[in-house]
C-alpha cells in the first residue's frame, strides 16, 4: 500500500474544522489553503475519508501538479502524469470539471479538451493501443489552475459528499449537510445539551446534530466512485471502513434535539428525512412559529439558518423578524445562539453584538456566522 496525497475541498472559512476532522482520523496534514485541505494517507484513507468526514465536499486523489501558462505547457504537463498507474486500459476517463483562478488559461472547455487529448496520448503509448473501449470503471478528473499552478486529482467520491442519502424531501433554500455539520462542529454543543432550530426547514441542522451526537458516520448509507477501483483499493478496505463506522455508533444514546418551522410542508419533509437518516427517534419536530418558542431547560443551544432577503417574499419583513429572534433569545436564560445569515443588519435588529462573527461563503453568497455564547453549565458532580 503506497502513500497518496489527497485534496479535501470545503466551504471558504471552514478549513480549520475540516483540518481537525482529518487529524482525528489519524492522517497527516500537508497544507491548508482557502477552501481546501491537503493530507496524506494509504489506500484505506480513500475509504475512511469518504465515509467519516462530515465537512468536505469530496475526496480527490492528487495525481500531479505543474506550472502551465500556455496550452502547450498544459498538454505536456498532463501527458507527464503517470496515468497508467491509476487508470486501467478499459477505464472510462474524462475531465469532469476545470476551474481557473487568476491564470492565463481560463477557458474550462478548452482546458478539459486539451487535458483529455494529453491523457489519451500518454495511455496509447503505455498500453500500446490506438483507441480505448472505456467500458470499465469511471475515473472522473478534476483540475484547478490557480495563478498558473495546475493541480490534478481523480475524484474518488462521485456525487458530492453533502449528499448523505437521507434528504429526499427538500424545501426552499436548504442549507447543505456539509455546511450544517461544519457549523455545529464550530460550536461547543454536545449530545448532553439541548439543541433547538426554530427555522429547521427540511431538518438539516437537527439531523446532522443527531448524527454527530450518535457518532453516525455520514457516508455509511451511500456509494462512492472509487469502490470500483479494485486495482488500487481492495474491496476489503471498504468493508473494514464500514465495519469500523458501525462499531462506533452510539446506539443507546438519548438527546434533546428539536426542530420547529412555521411551514407544515417543511416539518413533514424534516420528519421524512430524519426517518431516512435513522435518527427520527432522537429529534422532536413541530410546526410552531418563532414567537411561541420558550424552554424551561437551561444552557441550551439555538443553531439555525433564519430567512434572509432571498428567502423572504418581502425583504421589508427582515427587521421585524430579527427583532423577534432577539426577543426570543433574551427570554431564554443562559442559552447560546448560533445563526448563519447573509443579512448585514442582523446584529442591529437582534439588539446585541455577537461575541464572535465568522465570515463564510455559502456558494457565492457571503454569509456571517453570528455566535452568541451563553455561560457554561456547572460541572456535574
- Residue 364: what pLDDT? 81
Q: What pairing do the DSSP bridges indicate for beta strands 4-9 and 60-67? A: antiparallel
Query: What is the pLDDT, as a whole number, of residue 152?
Result: 98
Name the strand (E) or helix (H) holding 96: strand 92-101
Predicted local distance difference test score (pLDDT) of residue 264: 95
Q: What is the DSSP letter of 113?
A: H
pLDDT of 307 reads 85
The whole-number pLDDT of residue 183 equals: 98
DSSP symbols for 49-86: HHHH-SS-S--EEEEEEEE-SSHHHHHHHHHTS-GGGT
Q: What confidence score (pLDDT) does residue 174 get? A: 76
Q: Considering only CA atoms, which of 137, 154, 146, 2 is closest in space to residue 83? A: 154
Residue 139 pairs in a beta bridge with 93
**Residue 280 confidence (pLDDT) above 80:** yes
- Eight-state DSSP code of residue 327: H
pLDDT, residue 315, reads 66
Per-residue pLDDT at 171 exceeds 90 = no
**CA distance linking residue 303 with residue 213, whole number of Å:** 15
**Which residue in this structure is represented by grid cell 435588529?**
349
Helix intervals (H) in 219-345: 235-248, 264-276, 318-330
In the predicted model, what is the mean pLDDT of the chain?
95
- Residues 54, 208 contacting (CB under 8 angstroms): yes
**pLDDT higher at 238 or 344:** 238
pLDDT of 225 higher than 80: yes
Percent of the chain past pLDDT 90, that is, above it, reads 90
Q: Model confidence over 47-85: pLDDT tens digits?
A: 999 999 999 999 999 999 999 999 999 999 999 999 999
Residue in the block written with cell 475541498: 9
- The predicted-structure confidence for 307-348, as pLDDT tens digits, reads as follows 875 555 566 789 999 999 999 999 998 999 999 999 999 999
For the chain, how big is the Rg over CA atoms in Å? 23
Percentage, residues of the chain above pLDDT 70? 97
Given a cut of 60, whether residue 155 has pLDDT beyond it is yes
Contact 30, 36 (CB under 8 A): no
- pLDDT band at residue 253, thresholds of 50, 70 and 90? very high
The structure's pTM equals 0.95
Coil, strand or helix at 351? coil
pLDDT score of 314: 63
**pLDDT attached to residue 309:** 56
Q: Which pLDDT tens digit goes with each residue over 89-106?
A: 999 999 999 999 999 999
Binning pLDDT at 50, 70 and 90, where does residue 170 land?
confident
Average pLDDT over residues 35-40: 97
* pLDDT score at 380: 72
Amino acid at each position: 500500500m503506497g502513500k497518496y496525497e489527497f485534496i479535501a475541498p470545503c466551504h471558504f472559512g471552514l478549513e480549520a474544522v475540516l483540518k481537525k476532522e482529518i487529524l482525528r482520523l489519524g492522517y497527516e496534514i500537508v497544507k491548508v489553503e482557502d477552501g481546501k485541505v491537503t493530507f496524506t494517507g494509504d489506500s484505506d484513507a480513500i475509504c475512511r475519508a469518504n465515509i467519516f468526514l462530515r465537512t468536505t465536499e469530496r475526496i480527490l486523489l492528487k495525481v500531479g501538479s505543474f506550472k502551465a501558462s500556455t496550452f502547450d505547457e498544459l498538454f505536456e504537463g498532463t501527458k507527464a502524469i503517470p496515468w497508467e498507474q491509476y487508470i486501467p486500459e478499459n477505464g472510462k476517463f474524462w475531465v469532469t470539471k476545470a476551474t481557473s483562478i487568476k491564470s492565463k488559461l481560463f477557458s474550462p472547455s478548452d482546458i478539459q479538451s486539451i487535458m483529455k487529448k494529453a491523457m489519451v496520448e500518454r495511455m496509447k503509448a503505455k498500453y500500446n493501443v490506438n483507441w480505448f473501449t472505456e467500458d470499465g470503471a469511471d475515473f472522473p478528473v478534476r483540475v484547478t489552475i490557480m495563478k498558473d499552478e495546475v493541480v490534478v486529482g481523480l475524484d474518488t467520491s462521485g456525487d458530492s459528499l453533502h449528499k448523505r442519502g437521507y434528504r429526499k424531501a427538500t424545501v426552499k433554500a436548504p442549507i447543505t449537510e456539509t455546511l450544517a455539520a461544519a457549523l455545529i462542529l464550530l460550536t461547543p454543543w454536545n449530545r448532553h445539551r439541548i439543541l433547538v432550530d426554530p427555522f429547521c426547514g427540511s431538518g438539516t441542522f437537527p439531523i446532522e446534530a443527531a448524527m454527530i451526537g450518535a457518532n453516525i458516520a455520514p457516508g455509511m448509507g451511500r456509494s462512492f466512485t472509487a469502490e470500483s477501483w479494485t486495482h488500487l483499493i481492495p474491496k476489503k478496505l471498504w468493508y473494514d471502513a464500514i465495519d469500523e463506522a458501525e462499531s462506533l455508533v452510539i446506539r443507546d444514546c438519548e438527546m434533546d434535539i428539536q426542530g420547529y418551522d412555521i411551514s407544515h410542508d417543511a416539518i413533514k419533509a424534516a420528519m421524512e428525512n430524519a426517518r431516512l437518516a435513522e435518527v427520527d427517534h432522537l429529534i422532536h419536530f413541530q410546526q410552531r412559529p418563532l414567537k411561541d418558542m420558550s424552554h424551561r431547560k437551561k444552557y441550551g443551544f439555538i443553531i439555525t439558518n433564519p430567512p434572509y432577503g432571498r428567502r423572504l417574499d418581502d425583504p421589508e419583513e427582515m427587521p421585524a423578524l430579527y427583532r423577534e429572534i432577539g426577543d426570543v433569545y433574551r427570554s431564554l436564560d443562559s442559552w447560546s445562539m448560533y445563526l448563519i445569515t447573509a443579512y448585514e443588519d442582523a446584529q442591529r435588529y437582534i439588539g446585541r453584538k455577537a461575541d464572535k462573527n465568522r465570515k463564510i461563503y455559502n456558494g457565492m453568497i457571503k454569509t456571517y456566522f453570528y455566535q452568541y455564547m451563553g455561560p457554561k453549565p456547572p460541572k456535574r458532580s
